[in-house]
Structure formats: structure tokens, C-alpha cells
Structure 1
Amino acid sequence: MSDSKPSIATPSVISDFKEITKMRLSLSVVFSSLAGYLLGVETVDYKTLVLLAFGGYFMVGASNAFNQIIEKDLDTLMSRTKNRPIPAGRMSVNVAFVIASVFTLLGLIILYSINKQTAMFGAISIFLYTCVYTPLKTKTPLAVFAGAIPGAIPFMLGWVAATDRFGIEPGTLFALQFFWQFPHFWAIGWFLYEDYKKGGFFMLPTGKRDKGTAVQIIMYSIWTILTSIIPVFGFTGQLELSVLAAIIVFLLGLWMLYYAVLLFNKMTEKAARQLMLVSVLYISLVQIVYVIDKFIR
């Protein structure tokens, strides 16, 4: 295998580093935390913005590296993960562990320099992802619930970094990103079902690609939509949303819901992949609308 495809088997050290820390995923998480910061801050402090970006990146990168160390044997069984740096033999567990540990320390120190609560939530995130979500993935579909907590922290983390307090506003941001993760992850679990099965991962709520899973995807999409428009009603303190922005956010939600219903009707991998792509665009666009609305209101 390695002889026939040397370009795949021997990527550069830089690309291995990017893969062990899942750079693209980490950057999308950083985007969430920066959006949360912009929503919470009165006057933008660019130093804090940069610290949050680096601190957030280090924390997510560390979580991903620890995850790949723990799952190295299972990763060899799955097509999408067998060429990762550790299972492919390009990086030792020790090197990956050093990267993960250094990233954890740097992340905590940087977030602590913003404020203590930001560092605390960052530490909780890394602990839940590494010590709860990762081990549960081969045991129960409830792992997705455990994983949705650290996955929902970044949006909230930005607000805490801006204000040094936790309240209804970051709680609402957390709830929005928490509910959103279920249609997103279950869509991934659907189209990668066979590959996940090879590694012993059962990510779907019923354990299989059935109507029960599709109904839950629709239900959590609806919860996401409802949570996304709560700020327009004035219940969420400093987190506000204009009527126009709420309408746009609601329409974006209907767009995602359409693809959730499409999955229910078609029950295909293609429909699941479409829902996953739309869900990624949805959460980014909602965050952008929230931020723009704050600054033009």
C-alpha cells in the first residue's frame, strides 16, 4: 500500500502536525469563540481577541491530539482515520503526547491570562472531550451528549472572556450550539455509519440508520431553531437580537430543518452528507448574523 501511494503515505511533518491537532476543526471552533467574544464585549480589545484565538486553538488542538492517542488502535480499522499520523506510523505516541501536553499548558496559561473563568471552562472542555466523550464513543450513543458539552463551550467561552461572568447570555449561546450539534453529528454518524462500525463506534441515537434517528435529528433541529431566536424576546439580558436578525436566523434554521426532513424522507448517505454541510454553514452564518446585528443596531 505504501509503495503504491507514497504521496498519501508520507505527508510532510507540517501536514501531520495539522492533522494531529485537526487544524481546520480547531479554526472553526476559534471562530465560534471569537463570535462569542464580539457579542459580549463593549469595546473590542484586540489583544484579548488574539489571546482567545490562540488559547482556544491550543485547547482544541490538545483535545484532538489526546483523542487520537487514545483511539490509535481503532483508527487503524477505519478508512477515514487509518492514515492519521499515529496509526500510519509517521508519529509516535510520545511525540503526540508532548504536543497534546504542551498545547494544554499553553492553552490554559493563555486563557488564564484573560480571566480565571475562561481558563476553567477551557479546562472543563478538554477534560470532558478526552476523559468522557472519547471513552464513551465505543460504549454508548449517549457519547454524543457528552461530546456536545465541550463542543458547545467555545461560543459561550468567548462571552465569558469578554465579561468575566457566566449568566443567561453565555448560557443561551451554549444552548444554541449544544442543540445544533445533534443534527450535525448524527448526520456525520449516518453517512460514515459503516466506517464507524468497523471501529466499534455507534454514534446514532438508536444505534442504526432508521426513522427513529431521523426523527431525533428533526427534533433537535427544531430545538436549535427555537433557541436561536430566544434573544429577540428580551429574556436574555445583554444578549439581544433585532426582529430582522431574528427573521434571518429563523429562515436559516428552516433551511437546515428542510435538509433534516429530506434525510427523514430519503434515508440516504447523500441526504445525510447534505445535512452535515448545511449544518456547518448554518452555525457559522447564525454567529455572523448575531455579531453583525449587535454592531449595526
Structure 2
Amino acid sequence: MSSTGVHTSAPSILSDFKEITKMRLAVSVVFSSVAGYFLGAEVIDFVTVLLLSVGGYFMVGASNAYNQIIERDLDALMDRTKNRPIPAGRMSVTTAFLIASIFTVLGLVVLYIINPKTAMFGAISIFIYVSVYTPLKTKTPLSVFVGAIPGAIPFMLGWVAATGEFSIEPGTLFMVQFFWQFPHFWAIGWWLFDDYKKGGFFMLPTGNRDKGTAIQVVLYTVWTISVSLIPVFGVTGDLYLTPVSGVIILILGLGMLYYAVKLFREKTAHAAKKLMFASVSYITLLQIVYVLDKFIRQWL
């Protein structure tokens, strides 16, 4: 691929930098990490929050840059990715690799400053995403299972950053986000099925937009809601959710389930797109409810 052109404007360079590191995705990951930190911290240390945010952004940015280097030829085949910096020829592989490498080192250093376990989980996340998940995407639908592991780490990473320990509390946060990713990514895979097919990606559990896939979407949505409610029963250590917040989470979950069932009935790209947006709303609002529940209990 060609190097960045000499006539590329500053706004374009900034736009390409945001695209190669997937800034919007990185912000959502940072949000999850900070939510996990608020849940685990006895006293909020805003220096740690800043370090977690910066380190988290570096790690996500590095993962995405490596991913786009590896998949540059496949990205050129798909409508949604053909204008990314590398396949479009606006950024060289060398430049992207330099960004990814710098981000990896800086991310690990920043997370290590918080505590070693936070850095360790950050390293595990980037390794699985780049070295296992990315190659498997063109081989097997099980790639979604593998990709759900690094995708579930941010929520629990915040708790580990706050406490320096991995226990049942961050393990529960991990499971919530782990199960959530299946209906979320299968909705995306269904919605963009034709485009993914051009790149040879296997995103749906059966490989097709069929009844089998739709059933699994519904089942994993039910499991996501179920796992999200476990803290209500007081079996997850210091991670606790009041019954009132549990009802709110249940209502949010039923809203997501409504769109999952709608996909099962309609089996259309439009229904899948709606489920995708519903799933994003669910996990975001869930994290907000979890955090508010903790602080409201402390204030009362």
C-alpha cells in the first residue's frame, strides 16, 4: 500500500488516525472500564481513572490498528471497510504498525502504573484479539466466542484496576459482557451479512441468516439477562445490586429480548440492525444502573 500522500490535509490525517484506532469503539471500551472501576473502588482516585482511560484507549487502539493491518486486503473487498486508511492507500502498513506498536507499549506501561494485574489482563486482551480472534474470523464462526473474551475484559478490568485483585466480582462483570457480545455481534453479522461474505468472514453461528442463528440469538439474550441479574441475589461478594435496580435491569433486558424475538420472527437485516442498537443501549444503561445503584446505597 502507498504511503500517506503529501497533499493529505491535517483534518484527513486526524480522521485517519481516529479510524485506524477506532476511536468510537475505544471510547465505549473506556466507558466500560471506568464503570468497572467505580464499582470496585472504595474511594475514587481520579488519577487512576485517567490512567485507566488513557491506557484502555491505547490498548484498544493498538488492537484495532493491528487488526486493520492483518485484514487490509479483505477490508478492500467490503463496502463498509474499503475506505479505511490502509486499503484506501492513505496510510502505509509501516505507519499503521508504528502506531500499533507505540500504543501497545504505552498502554502496557500506563496500565502497569495502576497495578501489574491490570497490565496483565490488558496484554491478554490484545494478544487474543490480534493473534487468535482476527485469524479465526475467516475460518470459523467460533471466532465470535474467542473474540468475546477480549471484548469482555474491559468491564472487569476496571474492578481489577481499583482493587488489584481478580475475584468473583470482576469475574461476574466479565461474564455479563461476555454473554452480551453474542447477540450483539450476531446482530451485526446478520445485518451486514452480504458485506462480510465479500471478505470471507464467518460471523453467524450456523454460517447463515436462518432459524438456527435466530434461535441462538434469543437464547444468548436470555442468558445475558440472567447473568446480569445474579448480583441481586447477594452471591457475588462485594458486587451487589438492589432488587429495585434488578427490576430496572430486567425491564431493559426484556426490551433487548423483544428485538431478539423480532429478529427470530422476521429474519431481516432491518430487524438485526434494531437489535444491534438495542444491545448497545442495554449494556450502556446496565453499567450506568450498576454504578448508580452502588453510590445511591452509599448515600442512603
> What corresponds to 1:162 in structure 2?
162
Query: When the two structures are superposed, what TM-score results if normalisation uses the length of structure 1?
Result: 0.96
CA separation of 1:13 and 1:27: change in aligned 2, threshold 3 A: same
- Return the letter of the residue paired with 2:196: Y
- The aligned amino acid for 2:187 is A
Residue-by-residue CA offset, 1:93-131 (whole Å, 9 max, x unaligned): 000000000000000000000000000000000000000
Structure 1 runs of 4+ with >6 Å offset: none
The aligned counterpart of 2:44 is 44
Counterpart in the other structure of 1:278: 278
Q: Deviations over 1:14-66 (max 9, x none)?
A: 00000000000000000000000000000000000000000000000000000
Given residue 84 of structure 2, which amino acid in structure 1 is its aligned partner?
Answer: R
User: Which residue of structure 2 aligns with residue 251 of structure 1?
Assistant: 251
Residues 203-262 of structure 1 show CA distances to partners (whole Å, capped at 9, x for unaligned) of: 000000000000000010011000001001000000000010000001101100000000
- Separation in structure 2 between the aligned mates of residue 15 and residue 86 of structure 1, nearest angstrom: 13
Alignment correspondent of 2:115 = 115
Given residue 25 of structure 1, which amino acid in structure 2 is its aligned partner? L
Q: How does 1:118-267 map to 2 (within 5 A)?
A: 118-267=118-267
Counterpart of 2:292 in structure 1 is 292
Task: State the AA in 2 paired with 1:153.
Answer: I
Number of the residue aligned with 2:88: 88
Cα distance, 1:11 vs. partner? 6.6
Amino acid in the other structure paired with 1:270: H
1:113 and 1:202 map into 2 onto residues whose CA distance is 38
Where does the alignment leave 5 or more consecutive residues of structure 2 unmatched?
1-8
Query: CA offset at residue 10 of structure 1?
Result: 11
| 1:3 matched residue in structure 2 | none
Equivalence for 2:33: 33
Map Cα deviations across residues 182-211 of structure 1 (whole Å, 9 max, x no partner).
000000000100000000001000000000
- Which residue in 2 is equivalent to 1:101? 101
Map of 1:66 onto structure 2:
66
Q: Which amino acid aligns with 2:280?
A: V
Aligned to 1:90, the other structure's residue is in SS state: coil
Counterpart position of 2:21: 21
SS at the partner of 1:12? helix
The one-letter code matched in structure 1 to 2:141 is P
**Over aligned residues, Cα RMSD in angstroms?**
1.2
Distance 2:51 2:147 in 1: 25
Cα distance between partner residues in 1 of 2:32 and 2:11: 29
Give distance in 2, aligned partners of 1:63 and 1:114.
20
Q: Give secondary structure in 1 for the equivalent of 2:50.
A: helix
Cα shift at 1:277: 0.4
State percent identity of aligned pairs. 72
Cα distance in structure 2, aligned partners of 1:33 and 1:159: 8
Q: Look up the match of 1:5.
A: none
SS at 2:229 equivalent: helix
Q: Could you tell me which amino acid in structure 1 is paired with residue 42 of structure 2?
A: E
Deviations 1:146-177 (A, max 9, x none): 00000000000000000000000000000000
* C-alpha distance in structure 1 between counterparts of 2:76 and 2:87, whole Å: 5
Residues matched between the structures, number: 290
